[in-house]
Structure 1
Amino acid sequence: MTDSPAVVSVTGLEISVPGGPTLLAGAGLTLRSGRITALTGPSGSGKSTLLRAVIGDLPDGARVVSGSVDVLGHDVLALPEDRLRALRRHRVAYVGQDPGSALDPRMRVRQLVAETAADPSPRAVRNLLAECLLPVADGLPDRRPGALSGGQQRRVALARALARRPDVLLLDEPTAGLDTALRDEIAGLLRHLAAGRGLAIVLACHDPALVERCADDVVDLGPAAARTAPGPTAALPARAAALPARGGPGPGLAAEGLVVTFTQRGRSHRALAGVGFAVAPGEATGVIGPSGSGKTTLLRVLAGLQRPDAGCLTLDGRALPALARRRGRAERRRVQLVPQNPLGALNPARTVGATLARPLRLHRAAARSEQADRVAELLGQVGLPADFARRYPHELSGGQRQRVSIARALAPGPDVLLCDEVTSALDPGTAGAVLELLTRLRAERGLALVLVSHELHLVATHTDTVHVLEAGRVTAAGDTGRTLPVVG
């Protein structure tokens, strides 16, 4: 297959924003039918920009400085709009890094897949969902995106892409937010699609295990000095044994008997079933479990974004209103959430600086004269240059947007930080640096950290305790060192 004709050829591609950053510098890419190519490189190296260039979708304000993009015999950069739409609709499918934001929240899963399908029959849609490793017997086809986990949304987006029977499949971080078992199954599915359907597949990826399992070719966009050493734990610090250990009931954020049920077309799906939870000041607790087990729903309840059907929340022993809009200013400041998909959470009309200044102003965390310095400090803490304050979300990579989202949550000085897969879009070195920052804040400020993650090595290194969720229930909870070996 190595000598099969190229279906995509990108040569010397440079993309920049006039008067702004260079998003891609002299990139090349060749895709062949039946082969899988992995795009690797540190966050911000241009992986997502290159994928979008293949479908002729440049970031707002960006322009091509040099280079060419040929897709299935077409010069994508010169195609009229109608022919470019036809190419995207029938022959080239793209699943972005934040696929949930591209799913119409009013449509049911079966409608979302049928909408793009060459064969929209119920049987074909159901078979495609099952092929993408989604449960079809529990009512999932009749749910809307808001009732799905992040990993389920990602697989629905993959099913939509495959439904049009494309020749080329472009995937941006296809296993972000998925547990290890699902990651391996997705790798097997991609190999099956490449071999069985003759698809040319390219995936932007930070996961070395996924690259090793399924890629035929690797294109590294990062400079040699920035390439990450092998092994996901190489840059991570030893677990901080001096941090406070978990004790009995006391101050901090706690929940008891949480129940959340989603109902669609008469079918009920219990996302949380009597869940108890606690995290003390200065403590880090991990929340782990398979995709769809209720992890994100739990964090949304704790943050006041999802009303539970039953159960109660407390903060330092006092009742905490279920919804954020019912909480006082101090309560809202004290509990902050970093969501799984930052693209949908960052206002595209605001610069990074304005985004970070807003919580400083709302929570009176800095005087107006100090806000610019504080914004620069927040950016520095998450490993971004101060001049990123002038950029807009569309000018950032997925990993950079994730770091801005973390900085925004840190801006008001929270006591509890809820992190939903915050390292899934980061290369291992950057992920380690961000978690080192959070570890330091725990020690300096007594910050309580809740870390939802499928990356068990990060949970093992950076948490004191762990809660294990399965099918909406806590099946194990306790000291990380004792609980994780049993789970693993």
Structure 2
Amino acid sequence: MTPTSEPVVQATGVGIHIPDGPVLLNETSLVLRRGQITALTGPSGSGKTTLLRALVGALPAGAHLTAGTIRVLDHDIFALPADELRQLRRHHITYVGQDPASALNPRMRVRRLVSEVAADPAPQALRDLLVECRLPVDEGLLDRRPTALSGGQQRRVALVRALARKPDVLLLDEPTAGLDAALRDDIADLLRHLADRRHLAIVIACHDPELVARCADEVIALDGHTPTPAVEKAHQPAQPTGAAALVATGIRVTFTQRRTPHPALADIDFTATPGSATGIVGPSGSGKTTLLRVLAGLQCPDTGTLTLDGQPLPTAARKRTRDHQRRIQLIPQNPLGALNPARTIGAALARPLQLHRTVPKAQVPDRVAELLHHVGLPAEFARRYPHQLSGGQRQRVSIARALAPEPNILLCDEVTSALDPDTATAIMELLTRLRTERGLTIALVSHELQLIAAYTDTIHILAAGRLVDTGPTRSLLPTTQPTATHRR
């Protein structure tokens, strides 16, 4: 449909920074109208998330609006009394952040998570919302807790909660991060449907050019200031040889909700050889993250065994030796939930250095600066807190922290989903260089099949918790992927 001329949101010359600290957003303007989808693009750290949060009057701690104005439904968002601002957020403008799991109460089931904010909490209305957001309604999902959902399912449940309010304006931060290409296209079509049929004004902060091309009416490109990772082009690593470094055999994991079992993994075998890069692919909800958590010792399987260098490896991380814990590191999909908000970035990186004593105490500050440099962040970021960073910057900190204890095996769960393409490529080049120099073994979960094709040797393909195929990446993964159709 053609957007109406009357704007529902108007931001004019908005600038945001932290006093005596970094500029979070250079002066930027935008106008949102009903029936229109606006995409915010730009490198990690360019201010996309900061601008989205400003539109709901929620600036990062310590940040201030230094220029410009924001009007939402003809209200000055920063002049509203607290109770009126709450009503505006509850009924008219809603924001879904980049780490949706952090906003879902782990003790509540999906049914209650949605009904507590829904304008219409009737059971059929809840089911209709799940169907609309491409979630299954016949597999007991309404009665599951967030911890029993995949990352992609958590993201879509957060979207269901937002739509249940029947808002006028929908703000989405990386809405398809961690989703496979088919679901990404489904979500793009859903957003188009919401804009056209519900007359919503929608803003998406996004690194995915395919999503932008498929659904956006307008694109606003923000300039970034964060340097890209300073890594040299890596040489292609030698083909891995020798005995397997990490082996999982007969892994079975079942989640039970209201006495009903839901298999997450069914008799999965996994093998990674020293210095190899193994891709783990499959649709959202197929068990990829659960498999990584089993390998990391964070999810104990119902049955199955693990070995490391041919020796038995306890399935629970707490029962592993300190050296086992050092050697196997996990980079989680949602870094905000894994970083202590009360610790500076420097303290977060120093902790594994001190715990595993990989460098002398006097050298810890220099090593922290070196780790930040490896992932393309300046040394001054050591003084910042997680909430002062963008989603992509937090992801790079999470990568740096996993590299700090000099692991042998790195388990990567969608580590590039919050990064712009140039930064994602640079991070993968860094990991490839570490494979070459240190014999690092990598297991990479990703929906970005072009990265899997370029940077892995073998792949494991999962579907519905089962291993459907495994073998060389080159022979199993198509070399080309369909491109989205540009909207005119």
TM-score (norm 2): 0.96
Give the Cα separation in 1 of the matches to 2:371 and 2:225.
28
Q: What amino acid does structure 2 have at the position aligned with 1:24?
A: L
Q: Does 1:467 align with 2:468?
A: no
Q: Does 1:20 align with 2:21?
A: yes
Residue of structure 2 aligned with 1:403, choices 374, 377, 396:
396
Give the Cα separation in 2 of the matches to 1:201 and 1:374.
43
Give the Cα separation in 1 of the matches to 2:311 and 2:404.
24
Q: What amino acid does structure 1 have at the position aligned with 2:114?
A: V
- The Cα offsets for residues 425-464 of structure 1, whole Å up to 9 and x where unpaired, read as 0000000000000000000000001110000000000000
Q: What amino acid does structure 2 have at the position aligned with 1:387?
A: E
Partner of residue 328, structure 1 = 321
Contact 2:254–2:262 (CA under 8 A) maintained in structure 1: yes
Give the Cα separation in 1 of the matches to 2:422 and 2:220.
19
Q: What's the offset of the Cα at 1:236?
A: 11
Residue of structure 2 aligned with 1:290, choices 283, 289, 296:
283
Task: Quickly say closer, same or farther: Cα 1:375–1:224, change in 2 above 3 A.
Answer: closer
Task: Quickly say closer, same or farther: Cα 1:282–1:224, change in 2 above 3 A.
Answer: closer
Give the Cα separation in 1 of the matches to 2:371 and 2:130.
42
Give the Cα separation in 1 of the matches to 2:261 and 2:254.
7
Task: Quickly say closer, same or farther: Cα 1:194–1:2, change in 2 above 3 A.
Answer: closer
Q: RMSD in angstroms over aligned alpha carbons?
A: 1.8
Partner of residue 31, structure 1 = 32
Q: Does 1:425 align with 2:426?
A: no
Partner of residue 484, structure 2 = none
Residue of structure 2 aligned with 1:452, choices 445, 448, 469:
445
Q: What's the offset of the Cα at 1:164?
A: 0.5
Q: Does 1:244 align with 2:244?
A: no
Q: What amino acid does structure 1 have at the position aligned with 2:443?
A: V
Q: What amino acid does structure 1 have at the position aligned with 2:79?
A: A
Contact 1:237–1:461 (CA under 8 A) maintained in structure 2: no
- The Cα offsets for residues 146-198 of structure 1, whole Å up to 9 and x where unpaired, read as 00000000000000000010000000000000000000000000000000000
Give the Cα separation in 1 of the matches to 2:232 and 2:124.
47
- The Cα offsets for residues 100-155 of structure 1, whole Å up to 9 and x where unpaired, read as 11000011111111111011011110110111000110111111000000000000
Q: What's the offset of the Cα at 1:246?
A: 6.2
Give the Cα separation in 2 of the matches to 1:120 and 1:236.
54
Partner of residue 264, structure 2 = 271
Task: Quickly say closer, same or farther: Cα 1:246–1:212, change in 2 above 3 A.
Answer: farther
Task: Quickly say closer, same or farther: Cα 1:225–1:441, change in 2 above 3 A.
Answer: closer
Task: Quickly say closer, same or farther: Cα 1:395–1:327, change in 2 above 3 A.
Answer: same
Partner of residue 251, structure 2 = 258
Q: What amino acid does structure 2 have at the position aligned with 1:437?
A: L
Q: How does 1:18-417 map to 2 (within 5 A)?
A: 18-222=19-223, 241-245=236-240, 250-417=243-410
Q: What's the offset of the Cα at 1:483?
A: 1.0
Say which SS state the counterpart of residue 434 (structure 2) adopts: helix
Task: Quickly say closer, same or farther: Cα 1:76–1:144, change in 2 above 3 A.
Answer: same
Give the Cα separation in 2 of the matches to 1:224 and 1:102.
28
Task: Quickly say closer, same or farther: Cα 1:268–1:397, change in 2 above 3 A.
Answer: same
Structure 1 segments (4+ residues) deviating >6 Å: 224-227, 235-238
Q: What's the offset of the Cα at 1:245?
A: 3.8
Point out where structure 2 has 5 or more consecutive residues left out of the alignment.
Answer: 482-488
Q: What amino acid does structure 2 have at the position aligned with 1:49?
A: T
Q: What amino acid does structure 2 have at the position aligned with 1:127?
A: D
Partner of residue 5, structure 1 = 6
Say which SS state the counterpart of residue 474 (structure 1) adopts: strand
Say which SS state the counterpart of residue 485 (structure 1) adopts: coil
Contact 1:246–1:464 (CA under 8 A) maintained in structure 2: no
Partner of residue 232, structure 1 = none
Q: What's the offset of the Cα at 1:85?
A: 0.5
- The Cα offsets for residues 311-364 of structure 1, whole Å up to 9 and x where unpaired, read as 011100111111111111000000000000000000000000000000000001
Q: What's the offset of the Cα at 1:268?
A: 1.2
Contact 1:246–1:465 (CA under 8 A) maintained in structure 2: no
Range moving further from structure 2, 21-30 or 332-341: 21-30
Give the Cα separation in 2 of the matches to 1:103 and 1:312.
32
Partner of residue 231, structure 1 = none
Task: Quickly say closer, same or farther: Cα 1:211–1:22, change in 2 above 3 A.
Answer: same
TM-score (norm 1): 0.96
Give the Cα separation in 2 of the matches to 1:163 and 1:383.
39
Task: Quickly say closer, same or farther: Cα 1:405–1:242, change in 2 above 3 A.
Answer: closer
Q: What amino acid does structure 2 have at the position aligned with 1:479?
A: P
Q: What's the offset of the Cα at 1:281?
A: 1.2
Q: What's the offset of the Cα at 1:74?
A: 0.5
Say which SS state the counterpart of residue 203 (structure 1) adopts: strand
Q: What amino acid does structure 2 have at the position aligned with 1:373?
A: D
- The Cα offsets for residues 371-394 of structure 1, whole Å up to 9 and x where unpaired, read as 000000000000000110000001
